[in-house]
Structure 1
């Protein structure tokens, strides 16, 4: 059996050395593309493969100690959580017991010292590949473990304050839940988050309670979540904004990964101020939504934010979906112009300007009771469908007990009378 190995090495010289040595290992072939140069590309590559089949994933991933922008141990933890059928090996100059223990705790299957030696690399790759093969055999026999990237994570960020970020996040989550999907709504606007106010919630727990916990077990996670009457699981921002600093990028990754494996849809309200925590969420997201209003100030702010994400290697412009809120047909700035200026993909669904119909529900904290005839609700739920957050309705022909040719029970009764 041939082992596919995917190196994740940011340094060009180290990448060449790893690729050359891998080419000499028997029964081993590089997984394309080789190598990947940063953490974002690695996660995206694995996610695309997992979306096809677990068999399309490489058996072994080699993570170099200087990979970026996500630190190596955090990246290993994310790969281990999202792609449990992949064995991760850390390439590092520090092979001491402290780092070895930390790497094992993160989910690594071994360490290889730098500079690389053929014998050690061959031994670790062989051992890791055997472990991955065992996991895949177990999954093939109907194991309960997740075989792919888990649930869908969508982040909602605002180009500037007041563009409707939280309304968008709340309605996307409500739409997903109403369609029958298990859904979590996370408020990572850590200093000024208002999800609790929009949904009339008073709850003492918040994301801060999970920040210092190394192992987020289902029980620990559940204790920090509030179950809303709509069925949404809420992870709220802290009541004291200064405590938001306790949620680091590392803890945000751990929180989002844990939620991804528990819920089919995870919607994250990232607010408008970018910190390390919500930047990590945007990087991890399957879909990153950027909310903008059709005015010059907001569009310029969106362009700046998209460029910031690109410079920091958080997310590429073409991988960002921009949603135009408060849209009117007679405004000079239309979605096509927003797309051209920002370089993003603009959603087909634009949200109309209808704040008057929203105001009573916003003021009373009852956004979940917004009427079905609301133009804003209809647009945002249509957007949820465009983003594949809602479960497709079951067709009448496919429902149990239905006769395709006779239109159900009535047809069956007519057939019997005949």
Structure 2
């Protein structure tokens, strides 16, 4: 017989899965899931509602494969709010101008999800900071930053500053530069000197940079996503780029990995490494072994329930933070939206200067074999593709919701431009 303490812990873990999604609907991001378990009477599931709003027939119906109450409603009002132009002017250090919605300075966080055109975007933000006299800081090694670290006044451990560009002060630093002004990052550095941070870190990492003075979160997140099959293949190509594998070798490697993972009932949920907050990620890590022993009531396997819960939390985070969402398959639209937000008050001269600096920048193929050619070859195997589709289905759930957000935001941008 298990001791009482162990039984209590298992009861908490069993409840965790049932309240994890409702977690984000509570009054605060920072209430722990254990507190929620102890106060379940305060948590009510969202009221039934219509499916996610759409601006055109081409938008994905993210509620088609999941009951409506699991998905947050994303409205046209939220989309319009997400793509509102920053109040600053390109070329002038008018950092003190407050966003009328947040009553704070404008501050952006680019959450670089693995294999989603990050090189293109990092180059763009670096050039933007130079041309527009803004501050850009690129962070690396930051995915595992602890919630206690970002809440403190100390350094964000284990984050490292890869490079900094502060156009206002003509500061340009790379990792390894001697006598650096910005060798590390904490909450004070970006508040006083930086307008945009970016890199491989979790959504919400910058939550304590600015004080929240309104219902609108002061940190404006930018997130790019990509078709999960393409992203998985691109990741394998990047991993193998020094091995000179041919197309057949890459295809066989992918099939073997996917089939092996599915034989173990594993799912690919890489986006959740970036779209869960540090607090949420720590709770999942703390209880992972117990969570995977709980028999779900949904008919899913424990690993399936685990991956689905993480995916739903990621989706709720996208909506709660109302991230500006770009899609690599719609890169032109996505960059148009970014420029709408960041360059609305820029002169034609500044826009042309930025275009010259960023002209020709594109995300890199990691191998002589292209992502598109590998995916095309994989699709020829009709026995394998259902296995692959099952493997990435929770990534696709996130991607479909994000695509819907992107399409609505782009539609609102075009409407505002025409008004």
Q: What is the TM-score of this pair, normalised by structure 2?
A: 0.29
Q: Taking CA–CA contacts closer than 8 Å with sequence separation of 6 or more, which of the two structures ends up with the larger relative contact order?
A: 2
Q: What is the TM-score of this pair, normalised by structure 1?
A: 0.29
